[in-house]
Amino acid sequence: MRNFYIDLFVELGMQLVILGSGQDAGVPQIGCYCDNCVKSREDKTFRRLGPSIALMDSKKKFCYLIDASQDLKDQIDMINELLQKDPSEKSFPIDGIFLTHTHYGHIAGLWSLGKECIDIKKIIIHCTQKMKQFLENYHPFKHLIEQENITPIPFEIGTKQHYNEFSISSFEVPHRNEYVDTVGYIIHATKTVVYLPDLDYWTEEILAIIEQADIAIVDASFYSKDELPRMTNVPHPPMIETMERLKDSTTEIYFTHFNHTNKTLDVTSKERKETLEKGFKLAYDGLIIEV
Ligand SMILES: [Zn+2]
Ligand SMILES: [Zn+2]
Ligand SMILES: [Zn+2]
């Protein structure tokens, strides 16, 4: 006889939670009073935290993060709320953190694991070999390792690793790699999900990876090329180009990592309307996707 509870558990599956859908600096951006930033200060529902997602079990047995943003404190609150933790208990319910790359919004949250903050011990950091070397050599990460707050464990890019109910593998991404490499992740659960918050340009290999997935959550830093005067220094493919390249894709595409200048942040904009009409989805903080 089949066990009803196991059936129910399987049915509920795993969840991916968007903890932060902003570009590294989030929305509002520090010191900025553009329309999107002003609006997000007036109405907190328009706020977007630093880029991060949680992979968690529907029965709340595990929770892994991809990236540790500067807003980790608020994001842990979000997770604890989902886990229905007693707010009075000190809790850091994270089993491990996968890192994509060293830019600010993707690793700044690690610093809050140290002595000045929660002083948590032995959080496993899953990362590339180059990222491990970076963490071991530079303050404050070096200090966090010495104090045993974090323990980096490197993986081979492209190798599938198994954790609880899911497997995860990584792929190399062209991005401004000042210190280390950048990876995107492929999460293999009931569905296959690609998480790719940052890239400089699309390659045929990466488009093929997205094509093979059920869901892809991809870089939406900018809607169009004319959005930021210094955009040549910050090369992300604009959403217009991404939508053109993926227009015939059967993969469910979510955009994330929105810069404060992105026109789709304005709910009344024609850019937002057109994006949704083309069948693309816009991620937001707190979005839960069954995977
Ligand atoms: Zn980023
Ligand atoms: Zn702004
Ligand atoms: Zn980056």
Span 117-135, pLDDT tens digits: 999 999 999 999 999 999 9
CB-based contacts of 214, cutoff 8 Å, min separation 6: 191, 192, 193, 251, 252
Per the rule left: phi > 0, alpha: psi between -120 and 50, beta: everything else, 107 is alpha
Q: Which ligand is nearest to the CA of 199?
A: 3
Which range, of 88-102, 140-154, 208-222, 247-261, averages the lowest pLDDT?
Answer: 88-102
Distance in Å, CA 200 to ligand 2 centroid: 22
What's the CA gap between 32 and 57, in Å, rounded?
Answer: 37
Backbone phi, psi, residue 278, to 5°:
-80, -5
Report residue 268's pLDDT band, with 50, 70 and 90 as the boundaries. Answer: very high
Name the 3-class secondary structure at 16.
strand
Place of tokens 């180059």: 130
Q: Quick: pLDDT tens for 270-280.
A: 999 999 999 99
Q: Which ligand is nearest to the CA of 265?
A: 2
Owning domain of residue 25:
4-290
Look up the CATH number of the domain holding residue 25. Answer: 3.60.15.10
What's the CA gap between 248 and 235, in Å, rounded?
Answer: 24
Report residue 58's pLDDT band, with 50, 70 and 90 as the boundaries. Answer: low
Rounded to the nearest 10°, the torsion over CA 43, 68, 162, 130 is 140
**pLDDT beyond 90 at 144:** yes
Mean pLDDT across 155-176: 94
Distance in Å, CA 109 to ligand 1 centroid: 13
Residue list, CB under 5 A from ion ligand 3: 103, 198
* Residue 60 confidence (pLDDT): 63
- Give helix then strand counts, H and E, for the chain: 9, 14
Contact 180, 134 (CB under 8 A): yes
Residue list, CB under 5 A from ion ligand 1: 24, 103, 198
Q: What is the pTM of this model?
A: 0.93
Domains of the chain: total: 1
**pLDDT beyond 70 at 29:** yes
Distance in Å, CA 6 to ligand 1 centroid: 38
Mean pLDDT across 222-241: 82
CB-based contacts of 203, cutoff 8 Å, min separation 6: 174
